[in-house]
Structures are given as structure tokens and as C-alpha cells.
Amino acid sequence: MSETEIKRTESRLKRDWLGTARTLSEALPYILRYDEKTIVVKYGGHAMGNEGLALDFARDIVLLKQVCLNPIVVHGGGPQIAAMLERLNIKSSFIDGLRVTDKATVEVVEMVLAGAINKQIVTSINSAGGKAIGVSGKDANLIRAQKLTRSVRDPDSHIEAVLDLGFVGEPTVVNPEVLAGLIKADLIPVVAPIGVGPDGETLNINADTAAGAIAAATKATRLLLLTDVAGVLDKNGELIPRLTVAECRGLMTDGTISGGMIPKIETCIDAVEAGVEAVVILDGREPHAMLLELFTPHGVGTMITKG
């Protein structure tokens, strides 16, 4: 390499370093804003299955901890559960996007969520320099739950029938002291969304729902829902950066928000009305999406606030 080429390389590296330093400096006000605040992150979707994105996620969680935020990770695992059920020849059906969960299925769900997936995420965070610990909602009665039911109305008779979803649950009580103790010990909790029912039975809980309940119970400043979409889109397919609870309800009424986005928005509304400062729906496939949301002026995704 010639002397001129060496100088050009050195100059380019210096510009890169200056850019990095400038970025860190600009992030400082946001880092101070979230100092010692609890951030609940729902982790799922295709980001979990992509090795590069999974590594970025683990590093970003460790970074949040290192700059004195208190991250709590709540993870899903639908594709991995489906793959295991298929291997075991256990058939699945869905109602309103919720897996009908019989006794055999819930055993597989618990094995996959609280076992393989949970420990994989914990290991990734620890390998990135963090101190993560995996728990399920059954540990220390972290998440008490009740069976979730759905009703359908017959279009002819207009009679409502209650559908039994099996061992599918919704949180009734979340014990924040369990997570507070782990955070006080300088650990990063990684929570599998499994709850314990009134009779000690295992209940499968939707990860978004579990994350919302945990965010409310821990008085989190932010709930970040990592999804496979950019956020809430308007009727032209454009991202809506901010919404209030009232605006969310209006968009659900007029059909702008529909399908699988409805239960996510309902989770957001419940969390905000329970005291969470803001919920953000953002694309987990976007590298460093959490850092962009928390530590830059404009953020990414759709932020939902009370008013």
C-alpha cells in the first residue's frame, strides 16, 4: 500500500471514528432520560430466527443494561412450537390467532418456550457480555392466569357460543417483586410467557399480552413490541409514527387497523391505560431498532400514548 493510500485509509477511519463519537454524544440526553428506567421488550417474529439479528438483539440488550436501563425481555416462539408439534405429529388449530391448546400441546409449548428458546436467548445475551437469567411465569408465581375464552355469534340465530381454547390463559396477577429482585441483583430477566392457573395448571399466554401485563406491573417507562412490520400503517400503507389511545380506537372502528394488528393494539391500549408511559410497535427485522427508537430524536415504528 502506497503512502497516499495509507493516508486516505487513515482519513476515512478518522471520519468513521468521529461519526461514532458524534452519535454517542447525541445519544447522551436520551440515555440520561431513561436512566434506571424499566424497559420491557417483547421479542419474537423473524428476528428470533435470523442469526445476525439475534446477535444484534443480544448486544443491544446488553448495551441497554450497561447504560443503566433495566431491560426485561419477554419472548414468543410460535414458529418453533409449530415445528416441534409437527415433529411429534400433534395437530394444531387456531381461533382468532390463538392456538387451541390441549394437554399434549401445552406440554410441548412449555418445553419449547421455557426450555429451548428461553435458554437460547439467555445464552446469547450472556455471550454478548450480559448477565441474563431465564424464568417462566410459573417461577415464583410470577404470572398468575385464568383460562381465556372466546365467543362466536351464529349469523342466523344470533346465539353466542363460548369456545374452549383449552390451556390458553390471560394474566390476572403479575408479581413485580420477582422481577425487581432479579434486577436488583444486576440480572436481565428473560421471561417465557407461561402462566400458572388457579389449580396449578400450566397456561399458554400470548407473548404480547404477557409483555403488556409485565410492563404494567413493573411500571415500565416503555414497552417495545418487536414485530415483523414497520408499525401501524394508514390506508395508503404509510407508517403512522404516533397515535393516542382514542386515535387507535378510531382506526380499529373504521377498519384501518385490522386482522392480527388488532390484538397488538389492544395490548398497547391496556398497557398505556395501566400506567405505561408509551408503547412502541416496531420492526424487529430492522438492525438496532431498539437503539434507534430509544436513543435518537425521531425513533422508529409507531408510538402509542394515552393522550
Phi, psi of 134 (to 5 degrees): -95, 135
Where in the chain are the domains?
39-305
Beta bridge partners of 203: 195
Q: In this structure, which topology does domain 39-305 adopt according to CATH?
A: Carbamate kinase (3.40.1160)
Helix (H, G, I), strand (E, B) or coil at 197: coil
Taking only the tens of pLDDT, the chain with its 307 residues reads 666 666 666 666 567 677 677 777 788 888 888 999 999 999 987 778 788 899 999 999 999 999 999 999 999 998 888 889 889 998 877 776 667 788 888 999 999 999 999 999 999 999 999 999 999 999 999 999 999 877 666 555 555 556 678 899 999 999 999 999 999 999 999 999 999 999 999 999 999 999 999 999 999 999 999 988 899 999 999 999 999 999 999 999 999 998 889 889 999 999 999 999 999 999 999 989 999 999 988 778 999 999 8
